[in-house]
Amino acid sequence: MLFVAIIGLIVFLLAIFSVMYARQTGGGWKFLTFIAVLSLIVTGFATYKLPFWSFNKTASSESSSTATSTSASSSSAKLDSSSAVFNEGSQKKAAATTKLKEDSILKQLKTNYKDMGTITLDRTSKTFTVTPTNAKYVKSLKIIKKYPSKNTKAITTITDNLESLSTSLKKNLASGYTIRLLEPGTTDTTLISVKDGKVVTNNFK
């Protein structure tokens, strides 16, 4: 196309000189003028088709595409950031709500078990622990532990009560919480434990 452009330009210049000469001599200047215009059109078309113009158009198209892609990426990043902030806020709110529920239930359990012993909550392991401290209750548990076959009814009563309490925790708090009764005179030996309404550990037997 560069060669065509050069040829067209030469033809155009020759045609101009010919027109000027023809007008001065009275020759066929109209025909030569037509040739000059035609050569100008050919030159312009060939010049437009040169790689420089094609490159500019391609670069412009790529630039537009890149800008659109960048804009989309930026919008996506903003959405991801907003989503992260929203999720973080929701998690904090859920954690605060859970803590309030735990505190409320722990307070109620302390009231219910005050005649038997103390009760604590390990929030990390989601475990409520009953530590027997009442002398009569401690004595009863030791006897039951020592003679389980003679105290099956008492074991059943303790088990049913803990299962009922565990089911209530699952319903009013959340699943995954354990309620356990420590063996009297120990600091971390489980006598019986129940999670989500089902017995996990039973050392009465």
- Higher-pLDDT residue of 187 and 55 is 187
> Tokens standing for 125?
């392991």
Position 59 scores a pLDDT of: 42
pLDDT confidence bin for 56, thresholds 50/70/90: very low
> Tokens standing for 199?
């017995």
Please answer whether residues 1 and 7 qualify as being in contact, where contact means their C-beta atoms are separated by less than 8 angstroms.
no
* Percent above pLDDT 70 for the chain: 58
Does residue 182 have a pLDDT over 70?
Answer: yes
Cα-based angle 128, 131, 133 (whole degrees, multiple of 5):
150
Within a domain: 126? yes
> Tokens standing for 146?
């020592």
pLDDT in tens, 9-21: 555 555 555 545 4
Region 52-66: mean pLDDT is: 46
- Higher-pLDDT residue of 77 and 156 is 156
**CA 166, CA 180: separation in Å to the nearest integer?**
10
Region 177-204: mean pLDDT is: 95
Within a domain: 199? yes
**CA 154, CA 118: separation in Å to the nearest integer?**
21
* Percent above pLDDT 90 for the chain: 51
Within a domain: 18? no
| Per-chain mean pLDDT for the chain | 75
Instruction: Quote the domain boundaries for residue 122.
Output: 103-204
Beta-sheet strand order (sheet of 178-182): 117-122, 127-132, 178-182, 190-195, 198-202
**CA 10, CA 16: separation in Å to the nearest integer?**
10
Within a domain: 76? no
pLDDT in tens, 68-115: 555 555 556 555 666 665 677 788 888 899 999 999 999 999 999 899
Within a domain: 86? no
Q: Secondary structure of 97-147 in the HEC alphabet? A: HHHHHHHHHHHHHHHHCCCCEEEEEECCCCEEEEEECCHHHHHHHHHHHHC
pLDDT in tens, 131-145: 999 999 999 999 999
Nearest by Cα to 122 from 167, 203, 189, 177: 177
Does residue 51 have a pLDDT over 90?
Answer: no
Within a domain: 64? no
Position 88 scores a pLDDT of: 72
Domain count, the chain: 1
Within a domain: 65? no
Position 92 scores a pLDDT of: 87
Position 82 scores a pLDDT of: 60
Within a domain: 119? yes
Position 172 scores a pLDDT of: 92
Tokens 């806020």 label which residue? Answer: 89
